[in-house]
Amino acid sequence: MEIYDQYRNLPQTARGAAIAMGNFDGVHMGHRKVIDSARAAARRLDAPLGVAVFNPHPKQFFAPSAPAEQVQSDAARARLLQELGVDILYRLPFERSMSLMDDRAFVRDVLVDGLGVRHVSVGADFHYGRNRVGDAQSLRAFGEEYGFDVAIVDLYGEQGEKYSSTAVRRALKEGDVHTAAHILGRPWSVEGLVLRGAQRGRTIGVPTANLALGDYVRPRFGVYAGHARIDGKGPALPGVINVGKRPTVDGAEERLEIHLFDFAGDLYGRTLEVTLEHFLRDEKKFDSLDALKAQIARDMKQARALLHNTAKVDRTG
């Protein structure tokens, strides 16, 4: 997959694509419908399949001090798009000049003169241009004027639920990881380098790997069951996960900690992708480390059972 961080002076091979356009944070099931629409057009037109996203997200541009609340890292998004067969990823630089473009200027300067698009697929709620003046219908009208096709894709599932990154964030903040996974089409995950912590877990026989939450949306603080893949290789290993501030040890920094079952090895400096698959309980402050250790033992037992039962259902279902 080719990646371009601009829309001007592109090589000829990067122009003339059929593109899906949006922010695609999380690449959820609605996003996949938009990409599938662009894929069908790419095949019909014998054109490359492209995805155009805004970098940074317009909300971050207009409110840089607000929490980013990303569902997915940019790197993970790019990998997933590549796995979906996307040929070209355009990371359109959302800077002051683009923020001031009206809808016509955006279509003319970015889509036509810049990318030379032959087709654009967007979600039905897509907006663009200064003050979000443009919508999917106006894009279709501009397409007729400038000579490219436009497909408007609904973002609803078979049960009438709307797929959206906002719905994923809302579900995660409620600890509803099953709804988040349904919208995403996979369990939600956090990816990052393993950091050195205070190593308190080792003192109570439960060593943990620590990840910073960075720009990720903050899920409901508490304990989860899930898996981790090390450096993107090998099997996903089961474990019990805490997300939060660790109030029993007076923690202040928000982080994710995972204890991998039946694993022995040094993980410092390695990359983990951790999935949250079952919510067990809220984070709480215990009166002592012994009380915390006893609760962790119960958490581990519950997590093992949930993950075992889920794997058994996956094998038989």
Which residues are annotated as catalytic?
A: 257
Spell out the alpha helix ranges (H) of the chain. 29-45, 58-62, 74-83, 96-99, 103-105, 136-146, 165-173, 177-184, 200-203, 289-316
Do the bridges between strand 233-244 and strand 222-230 make them parallel or antiparallel, or are there none, so unpaired? antiparallel
* C-alpha dihedral sign at 226, 230, 236, 237: negative
Phi, psi for residue 104 in degrees, rounded to 5: -65, -45
For residue 275, is it left (φ>0), alpha (ψ between -120 and 50) or beta? beta
Determine contact, residues 29/167, Cβ cutoff 8 Å.
no
Tokens describing residue 316:
């038989």
The Cα 184–Cα 267 span in angstroms is: 28
257 backbone dihedrals φ, ψ, rounded to 5°: -125, 135
